[in-house]
């Protein structure tokens, strides 16, 4: 069953993105301070999806993923969660989509293929049709590349990637990691929230002025072209 895209109701269809940022701050998943990124950069903020680790928080983030999936304009028949963080995110998103009237199957991969029972390295629904990859972030793009290979090997079509946060900063070159995936695989990458949404949320909070200034300075140094 295809999940038809649906507009998000209300005067501001993108308000849920800033709501997600506020939720991430309150849940301490989005933190501010001094953090070293995988690229070796000193970042004034850090998003740790590993802290979506209780029932309430996972339920809420799944609802945001579902809203972003429907708002993305990407047509998909199946959700795929790359091991390991993508597994719970894909399952939670499928449940949240069903609650919104879009019952979509999901599956995920094992790190190592199973040689007994049903065998193979895919758990859940069969890889078929247009597949939306659900993950937390894109850094080097390795997880996306592996997912695309699995999907194509099964004869299915990778329809796009949905992540929680797009940092909108340079990857290996002048493009962001998300832009590199779009270029390399010819498919859309969408996020619940971007750095633009983070800054928009923080600018509405006077006590966050210092963090806004630090993030804007970081963006001037490492931000990718629009």
User: Token pair of 174, please?
Assistant: 């002048």
**Residues 120/109, Cβ–Cβ less than 8 Å:** no
* Per-position DSSP letters for 16-37, written without gaps between them: HHHHHHHHHHHTTSEEEEEEE-
| Dist CA 24 CA 96 (whole Å) | 18
Q: Is 114 a catalytic residue?
A: yes
Cis peptide before 84 (omega within 30 of 0): yes
| Dist CA 16 CA 78 (whole Å) | 23
Residue of 38, 56, 111, 116 marked active site: 116
User: Token pair of 95, please?
Assistant: 């449940």
Selection from 148, 174, 175 nearest residue 161 by Cα: 148
Q: Is 56 a catalytic residue?
A: no
Selection from 76, 104, 106, 77 nearest residue 90 by Cα: 106
| Dist CA 96 CA 206 (whole Å) | 33
Strand order of the β-sheet with 189-194 is 120-124, 106-114, 78-81, 130-134, 157-166, 189-194
Catalytic positions are 114, 116
């Amino acid at each position: 069953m295809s999940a038809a895209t649906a507009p998000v109701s209300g005067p501001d269809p993108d308000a849920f993105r800033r709501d997600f940022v506020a939720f991430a701050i309150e849940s301490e998943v989005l933190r501010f301070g001094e953090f070293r990124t995988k690229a070796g950069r000193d970042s004034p903020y850090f998003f740790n999806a590993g802290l979506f680790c209780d029932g309430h928080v996972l339920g809420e983030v799944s609802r945001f993923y579902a809203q972003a999936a429907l708002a993305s304009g990407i047509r998909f028949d199946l959700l795929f969660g790359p091991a390991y963080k993508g597994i719970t995110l894909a399952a939670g998103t499928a449940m949240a989509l069903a609650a919104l009237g879009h019952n979509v199957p999901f599956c995920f991969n094992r790190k190592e293929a199973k040689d007994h029972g049903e065998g193979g390295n895919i758990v859940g629904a069969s890889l078929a049709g247009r597949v939306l990859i659900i993950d937390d972030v894109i850094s080097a793009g390795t997880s996306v590349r592996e997912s695309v290979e699995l999907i194509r090997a099964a004869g299915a079509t990778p329809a796009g990637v949905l992540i929680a946060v797009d940092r909108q900063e340079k990857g290996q070159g002048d493009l962001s990691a998300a832009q590199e995936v779009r270029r390399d695989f010819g498919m859309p990458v969408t996020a619940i929230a971007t750095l633009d949404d983070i800054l928009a949320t923080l600018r509405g909070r006077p006590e966050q002025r210092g963090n806004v200034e630090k993030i804007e300075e970081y963006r001037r140094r490492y931000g990718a072209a629009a």
